[in-house]
Amino acid sequence: MSLQPGLYRHYKGPEYRVLGVARHSETQEQVVVYQALYGEFGLWVRPLEMFTGEVELDGKHVPRFAFVEAETSVLRRP
């Protein structure tokens, strides 16, 4: 599964910049590398399956992170 780099909104409201998808060195699990666009602008990782999953909000299933707009990733292949 691939994930388009760009801006995403968490279902609780804050926005994040997805930098790319990486692979865990021990488990080979795909993880999303993303940056908070608020506070200390920290870098985070989350399993791809969880990032692209859904959560229940007010009785409805909504994406955990909703795509907002495309952006060229800062992580590129040489």
What percent of the residues of the chain are helix, what percent strand, and what percent coil, each to the nearest 5? 5, 50, 45
What pLDDT band is residue 69 in, cutting at 50, 70 and 90?
very high
Q: Give the tens place of pLDDT for each residue, 53-68.
A: 999 999 999 999 999 9
**Cβ count within 10 A of residue 53:** 13
The whole-number pLDDT of residue 2 equals: 76
What pLDDT band is residue 77 in, cutting at 50, 70 and 90?
low
The domains found in the chain, sorted by start residue, are 6-64 (2.30.30.320)
Q: Give the tens place of pLDDT for each residue, 8-41.
A: 999 999 999 999 999 999 999 999 999 999 999 9
Phi then psi for residue 29, to 5 deg, are -65, 140
Q: b/e for 10-31, b at 16 or more Cβ within 10 A?
A: eeeeebbbbbbbeeeeeeeebb
